[in-house]
Amino acid sequence: MGSSHAALQPPPHSNEIKVSFPQEHVMLLTFNRPKSLNAVTPTMTEDIKRVLDWFDNEPSLWIVVITGEGRAFCAGADLIEWNKRQASGGAEEDQKRLIRDVDGFASISRRYSSSKPMIAAVNGGAYGGGLEIILNCDLVIASEDAKLALPEVKRGVVAVQGGMPRLARIAGHQLASELLLLGRPITAKDAATRFGFVNKVVPQAEVLSTALAWATEITENSPDAIQSTKRALLLAGRHGSVEDAVIAHVNSKESKRAFTSENIQEGLKAFTQKRKPAWKNPAKL
């Protein structure tokens, strides 16, 4: 950990998550309810939102790696708590909260405001909302032992936190239907080769180190260019027309910053001088 990262102070949070800075410009966010397979609670969601909002506004942090403590990545929602809410007539409030909480499940599955890359280090099983989190990450490294599923239909609920449209876009209608309507788990290998939402499958012991190595490789590139590029990818998902997506991206805050930043000057100058660029933290948007 660099000296600048030693001074970073994330906002207060419970012990249901862990926050660390394993290398320069990288934050590691760990779900920390291993006895409950990292099922997400309301407290956990509030913690994650505070930490990710802070991360988004911290110029020295460029990438977040998300993983789980213990043998699971994330088992999704705490169904015992959900059952209590349902029994007490909380269904209408649940629907209102879905619309109100724009960042989605665990404040990650529908998060759109951030242009900083999110890497999922899938150390074990990911079910329901846990898989919806993965589907909104930019890069996914998964353990060869990990089982992944959207089993909501088996419990009478629906994967409403962004997973359905994302999976349909990534895998296509029929493969998305296979995962969603059957509700059965798939292997990480199938997620990579058939469904297309896992980038790399590695032994369990190498998941986090591989994700951090990819994060390091990203930090060797201009953070302004990286964030502008992620914004373009996000906008591509919101615009049916390529031309509309291009124009929306050029008009975005990230694109305007990239074109006028010190880093674009540094990158071009370093190329002409045949040296490695020395990137600076991007200006706040």
Give the tokens for residue 31.
């779900």
Residue from 115, 223, 144, 135 nearest 180 by CA: 135
Give CA torsion, residues 28, 34, 39, 42, to 10 deg.
-70
Q: What are phi and psi of 199, to 5 degrees?
A: -80, -40
Q: Is there a contact between 128 and 79 (Cβ–Cβ < 8 Å)?
A: no
Active site residue 93: no
Residue from 74, 120, 116 nearest 212 by CA: 120
Q: Which residues pair with 30 in a beta bridge?
A: 18, 67
Residue from 179, 157, 27 nearest 105 by CA: 157
Q: How far is CA 228 from the centre of its chain?
A: 17
Write the CA distances from 137 to 50, 66, 121, integer angstroms. Answer: 18, 9, 10
The span from the CA of 147 to the CA of 184, in Å, is 10
Alpha helices (runs of H) in 151-241, residue ranges in sequence order: 163-171, 173-182, 188-190, 207-219, 223-236
Pick the catalytic residue: 16, 132, 152, 254? 152
- Kindly list the catalytic residues: 152
